[in-house]
């Protein structure tokens, strides 16, 4: 038997089983933080839609939230994101999910995985950086 602290588990959840998805509130704050330069200006490398999203987020955040997020205070990422998501247009949410690589999603309701995989912590060094060999190294525990 493998000790539970020596393994990790990955659950596969097909996208069609998720409903009412939107960007995770932390990701909203993270987007704002990552696209604010050291001199507290918007990143000039954003495309037009990203600039619109950035400006929208900045207009909804309180001045304290703007300052704290720019200062990297992570607890404000979620608080600010929660405030923004209440009124963020759907097209912005969809754009962030589809086009911003580090954006996590949140889902409303129960999640039903289709598979569970187990990997020994001893095998972690054998993983490729992109994780492409994960399913060759890990063991399938159960599947529908």
User: In tens digits, what is the pLDDT along the chain, a chain of 144 residues?
Assistant: 555 679 999 999 998 888 889 999 999 999 999 999 999 999 999 999 999 999 999 999 999 999 999 999 999 999 999 999 999 999 999 999 999 999 999 988 888 999 999 999 999 999 999 999 999 999 999 999
CA distance 84 to 22: 12
Q: Give Cβ neighbours of residue 71 (< 8 Å, ≥ 6 apart).
A: none
Q: How far apart are CA 73 and CA 24, in angstroms?
A: 17
**Could you tell me the residue ranges of all domains in the chain?**
4-18+110-143, 22-106
- pTM comes to 0.75
């Amino acid at each position: 038997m493998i000790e539970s602290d020596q393994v990790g588990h990955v659950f596969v959840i097909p996208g069609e089983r998720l409903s009412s998805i939107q960007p995770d509130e932390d990701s909203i704050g993270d987007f704002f933080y990552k696209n604010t330069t050291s001199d507290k200006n918007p990143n000039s490398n954003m495309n037009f839609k990203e600039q619109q999203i950035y400006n929208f987020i900045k207009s909804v955040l309180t001045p304290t939230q703007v300052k704290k997020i720019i200062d990297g205070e992570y607890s404000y990422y979620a608080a600010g994101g929660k405030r923004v998501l209440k009124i963020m247009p759907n097209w912005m949410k969809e754009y962030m999910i589809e086009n911003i690589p580090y954006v996590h999603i949140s889902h409303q309701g129960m999640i039903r995985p289709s598979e569970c995989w187990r990997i020994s912590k001893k095998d972690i060094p054998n993983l490729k950086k992109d994780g492409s060999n994960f399913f060759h190294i890990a063991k399938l525990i159960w599947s529908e």
